[in-house]
Amino acid sequence: MSKTAIITGVTGQDGSYLAELLLSKGYNVIGLKRRTSSISTERVDHIFENNPNFKMEYYNLHDSGVFYRLIQKYDPDEIYNLAAQSHVRVSFDLPEETVATIAMGTLRILEAIRILKPSVKFYQASSSEMYGDNPENPQKETTRLMPASPYACAKVFAHNLCRNYRESYGLHISSGILFNHESPRRGETFVTRKITMAAARIKLGLQDKLYLGNLDAKRDWGFAGDYVEAMWLMTQQEIPDDYVVATGETHTVKEFLYKVFDHAGLDPDEYVEIDPRLFRPHEVPLLLGDPTKAQEKLGWKPKIKFDKLAEMMYNKDYKRLLKETK
């Protein structure tokens, strides 16, 4: 009998890759999306059109009743909570919305699971941003959490809440502490996609300058398509636990910028300018993950490395823009 999974935030980067993965394994997938006035399903339209085992439902993280109804309607085996206001810089401008969706949204789902179906396997999307300014490197599951943004504070609350519900009620809850993971489906306001989009537009004569903030921030960058496999592996374990999902390598924003522009045959010094307004109020200088536990217990390893990731993202943006301009 096929398993049924619910994915919150299915229209996002991670949600779309996870939906594809689960469908390839024979799941029935219920993707949850927010009701908005604009079309926001481009990442999953191809899935909806071609796979009868994929359905979408509207939801609202501020409404507890939604999850009670969905659990009763679909009786899921697994729930993956990927929904969030996920932009760290924006969280300083919208702290209440960020905390409401991430912290309280997670609480509402956990309560629905506890009351209606405690046997469900739950995955929580935690974040490397929770480590903040902690100088310990590389960062692992036991590293002290020192959040440095409203987004990270909300993630810490949700992460600790999941551990509390796991230990207090015996629920199967696993949290993936994912370090930066990118793809051609990354939102255009995130720095990696902003860079690849700009390089492609400059190459095609559609843009003159690229404005960026802190180029010295170091991050552990992987491919989102690899990371969703780790999410699924966590829910397949007999005993739930928390795992760092990372590559174990770190690179600066500047390295990513130069890698992309070099691949495009462009000189970044000619086109890139620093805009102080794009700096975070509180910068986190370095995030580097230790994926040893995920490798040893889950058998997970990242497949796509930094250089290939940068080239993949640029190539996809260039080809799409080239097609649109013809």
CA distance 62 to 1: 33
Q: What residues contact 290, with CB distance under 8 A and at least 6 apart? A: 138, 139, 140, 244, 246, 248
Catalytic residue among 129, 174, 227, 258: 129
Instruction: Give the active site residue among 127, 174, 175, 183.
Output: 127
| Interatomic CA distance for residues 227 and 223, integer angstroms | 7
With CA atoms as reference, report the closest residue to 245 among 183, 302, 199, 204: 302
Which token pair is 86? 């996920």
Q: By the 8 A CB rule, do 223 and 263 touch?
A: no
Question: Is 151 noted as a catalytic residue in this protein?
Answer: yes
Catalytic residue flag (residue 64): no
Segment holding 211, helix H or strand E: strand 210-212
Hey, how many other C-beta atoms are within 10 angstroms of the C-beta on 69? 15
Our answer to whether residue 129 is catalytic in this structure is: yes
Q: How many CB atoms neighbour CB 104 within 10 A?
A: 17
220: buried, middle or exposed (CB in 10 Å: 19+, 13-18, 0-12)?
Answer: buried
Cα–Cα distance list, 1 to 26, 71, 77, 231, 273 (Å) = 9, 18, 11, 21, 56
Distance, in Å, from the CA atom of 301 to the CA atom of 317, rounded to the nearest integer, reads: 26
Beta strands in 220-299 (DSSP E): 222-223, 242-245, 251-252, 272-274
Q: Name residues whose C-beta falls within 8 Å of residue 248's C-beta, 6 or more positions apart in sequence.
A: 138, 220, 288, 289, 290, 291
**Catalytic residue, candidates 151, 227, 258, 318:** 151
Task: Kindly list the catalytic residues.
Answer: 127, 129, 151
